[in-house]
Structure 1
Amino acid sequence: MSFDEIKALLLNKFGADVIVGEETGGLQSALLIAPEHIANVCLVLRDDPGTYFDFLSNLSGVDYGAEDGRFGVVYHLASIPYNAQLVLKVSVVNERSLDNLPTFPSIAAVYKSADWHEREVYDMLGIFFTNHPDMRRILLPDDWEGFPLRKDYVEAEEYKGIKIK
């Protein structure tokens, strides 16, 4: 299925509000999906016999910077039988408070490999995934303060009495 056919499939299935934009100028085109639809979109793309995106090859978080005030997640899907790839992106505006994390629906129920990918995005960027089966830090200690890959992260001087810098 072509990029335009996939777009038409999603519009037909979910309506006009599912796709909020598209990026076609880069090396790989991407559909910008309304965040509340991402889990259902992935499920349809996985289960539809015309697309069969059976493999989540990568999931990564994005901090667009304090001036933009946005956080996002990029999903790289692959269809092994059809030798096809698709990029989906979601984003939300967030005031960057550690008390109000940017939040997206988890796709771990659709792709099991999303479990650890989402935990890493949470651990490094503070992006929270609702309905995740085990949303906790995966790389850093549970009591670590902050999220190191945020553009406004201030590195701690020490951790438990041990100098970091």
Structure 2
Amino acid sequence: MITKVKDLIIANIGEQAIVRVEEEHLQPILVLQAESLVEIAFLLRDTAGYYFDFLSNISAVDYHPDARFAVVYHLASIPYQTQLTLKVEVENDRRSDNLPEVPSVASVWRTAEWHEREAFDLMGVFFTGHPDLRRILLPDDWQGYPLRKDYEDAETYHGIAIK
């Protein structure tokens, strides 16, 4: 399946859209250029014979201490009973005022709105073009991103002890 998807992307978008294929995992992962993500998502959703109509999950990955993050997309084609994993990697200096940015796929799959908000809230990945990117689990004024490996737990929140 991964070879067919790779060939589809190369034929329609170009070889530059694909960074590499990671085949050492239980399920192969197609690593993509962030700039091509939305175009590839529409291609995979709308192409007959593929029809990846369901985005089941988005996960953000922190490669601390490296200045690198990744966003992993788990797709499924319900009619064809196939699955596909995509990944986009982003270099970032880890500063809280300079979040890693990835294009939003909410225009392709509506479920991405919630998944992207969670990745933003907990890992600090900014999804450009998201229709309503704001915290979903933590209070709006929370400082930091708790799933980052370098996150330090706050001792208080508005004067209330957390520990």
Shorter-chain TM-score bucket reads over 0.9
Where does structure 1 differ by over 2 angstroms across 4 or more consecutive aligned residues?
A: none
C-alpha distance in 2, partners of 1:32/1:3? 11
Q: Deviations over 1:111-131 (max 9, x none)?
A: 000000000000000000000
Q: Deviations over 1:41-91 (max 9, x none)?
A: 11100000121000001111111112x210110000000110100000001
Give SS of 1:59's match. Answer: strand
Letter in 2 for 1:84: T
C-alpha distance in 2, partners of 1:21/1:80? 26
Tell me what 1:86 maps to.
84
Tell me what 2:141 maps to.
143
How many residue pairs align between the two structures? Answer: 163
Give SS of 2:51's match. Answer: coil
TM-score under structure 1 length normalisation: 0.97
Q: CA deviation at 1:105?
A: 0.2
Letter in 1 for 2:125: I
Tell me what 2:96 maps to.
98
- Percent identity of paired positions between Structure 1 and Structure 2: 56
C-alpha distance in 1, partners of 2:2/2:147? 31
C-alpha distance in 2, partners of 1:59/1:43? 16
Give SS of 1:17's match. Answer: helix
C-alpha distance in 1, partners of 2:90/2:104? 15
Structure 2 residue ranges without an equivalent (≥5): none
Q: 1:110 aligns with which of 108, 111, 122?
A: 108
Letter in 1 for 2:74: H
**What RMSD, in angstroms, separates the aligned Cα atoms of the two structures?**
0.6
